Amino acid sequence: MSAARISRYDLAVVEAARLGDERALIKLIAAAQPDIRRYAARNCRMADADDVVQETMLLLYRRLGTLRAVTSFASWLFMVAHRACLRLLRMGTGMPEAPADDFETRFAHLRPEDLRIDLSRAIQSLPEHYREVILLRDVEEMSVDEICATLDLTRESAKARLHRARAMIREYLIND
């Protein structure tokens, strides 16, 4: 999530709402609802968009107090919406809920285009230095030595970044 997106929400309002200020919570819900509606329209099945907005706003109301850092509000909110999209998709297509530790089973039921979208989002969530190395290796198909030359890294650091980037992608996908 970009810094511009995070600063879209007044952090003082987020903090006040987190601490139980009803007026701040109403203001926050009013500000967040159009963003979640746009997100749901772009990323969820059309039949689920209204339900995703409703569930996300309900969870915002119920669980905002559990948010640890107000600066992560936007990321948290969109993750709630994303999970609601996935849950409704699973329910609508009859896919069973797979345990998080059963990685292959969990993704075997998804269509290839859904996997591509999830993988793209996982890659975009990476810090720049990890995203760069994973794109060079797995998209551009560069060798580790070519990556080292391109990014001016040692072989060990390039391999470590690649390993960490893949682990972060796997974690993102599992916790999705």
Q: Once rounded to an integer, what is the mean pLDDT over residues 3-15?
A: 70
Q: Once rounded to an integer, what is the mean pLDDT over residues 92-116?
A: 61
The residue among 119 and 145 whose pLDDT is bigger is 145
Mean pLDDT of the chain: 82
Tens of pLDDT, residue by residue over 22-44, are 999 999 999 999 999 998 888 88
Token reading at 160:
């470590």
pLDDT of residue 146: 94
Q: 11-32: b or e for each residue (b if 16 or more CB lie within 10 Å)?
A: eebbbbbbeeeeebbebbbeeb
pLDDT above 60: residue 12: yes
pLDDT above 60: residue 162: yes
Percent of the chain surpassing pLDDT 70? 84
Token reading at 119:
């993988």
pTM: 0.51
Tens of pLDDT, residue by residue over 65-101, are 887 778 888 888 888 888 888 888 877 766 555 444 4
The residue among 107 and 6 whose pLDDT is bigger is 107
Q: Which alpha helices (DSSP H) does 44-140 contain, by range?
A: 49-63, 73-93, 103-108, 112-124, 128-134
pLDDT of residue 88: 84
Q: Once rounded to an integer, what is the mean pLDDT over residues 119-142?
A: 89
pLDDT of residue 120: 87
